[in-house]
Structure 1
Amino acid sequence: MNATLANTIFRQSIDVYHQADHVDTPIQNPYPAQSMEALLYQKNWIDTVQWHLEDLIRSPEIAPEELVGLKRRIDQSNQDRTDTVEQMDDWFIALLGDAPRKPTARLNSETPAWLLDRMSILQLKIYHFREQAQRTEASDEHRQKAQQKLQLLLEQETDLAQCFDELLEDIRNGDRFMKVYRQMKMYNDPTLNPVLYQQK
Structure 2
Amino acid sequence: MNTIWPALAIGLALVISAGIMGGGLMTGRAQAAEPVELVAFGDSLTAGYGLASGAGFADQLQARLDEEGIAAKVINAGVSGDTATGGQQRLEWSVPESADAVIVELGANDALRGVDPKVTRAALTKIVTRLQERGQKVLLAGMYAPPNLGDEYGEAFNAIYPDLAKETGVLFYPFFLDGVALDDSLKQPDGLHPTKEGVTVIVDNILPKVKELIAEVREERAQE
Q: TM-score range by the shorter chain?
A: 0.3 to 0.5
Q: Could you tell me the TM-score, scaled by structure 1's length?
A: 0.39
Q: Could you tell me the TM-score, scaled by structure 2's length?
A: 0.36
Which structure has more helix as a fraction of its residues? 1
The structure with the larger Rg is 2
